[in-house]
Amino acid sequence: MSVTRISRSFKDISLSFEPHPVTKDLPVITDARAIIRSIRNLVETIVTERFFNSTLGSNVRKSLFDFVDYATASVIQQQVVEVISNYEPRVDNLIVQVNPKPDTNEFEIILTFRIIGQDIPVQQYSFILEATR
C-alpha cells in the first residue's frame, strides 16, 4: 500500500541570490518552478560534488563527451530517470525523452511528470545539455 503525499505548496530559494530591490529579501520560487529547478540541479550535479551527500547526482556530464547518437541518448535517459526517481519524491509518472542533435553536439531532454499532492495538470519541461570545456 503506497502513501500519497498531500502538499499545499513547495518553496525554494532562487539560485540567483539577488535580493529584492526594496525588501532586500532573497527571491523565492514556488510549486512547479521549484520542482523543475530541483530536477535540473539533480541532473546537472556530478556524483561526489556535494560534500555531505556524495551519492547525490548523476553521471550525465560524462556521457556528454561521447558520441551524440541514440545509444548515448539511451544512457542519458536511464541516468536521468534514475536520479529523479531516487532523489525527487515530489514527482511521479515520469517520462523522459532524450533527443540527440549531432549537428550542434547537444542533447534535448524533455521531461513529462505529475506533481504529487497538487491538482494541477501534467508538467512538461525541456532543456538542452551540451558538453562544455
Tell me what the mean pLDDT of segment 116-124 comes to: 87
Please state, rounded to an integer, the average pLDDT across all residues of the chain: 86
Residue ranges of domains in the chain, CATH in brackets: 11-130 (3.10.450.40)
Model-wide pTM > 0.85: no
CA–CA distance, 57 with 124 (Å, rounded to integer): 21
Residue 19 has a pLDDT of: 82
CA–CA distance, 60 with 73 (Å, rounded to integer): 10
Read off the DSSP letter of residue 35: H
pLDDT (tens digit per residue) in 24-36: 887 777 778 888 9
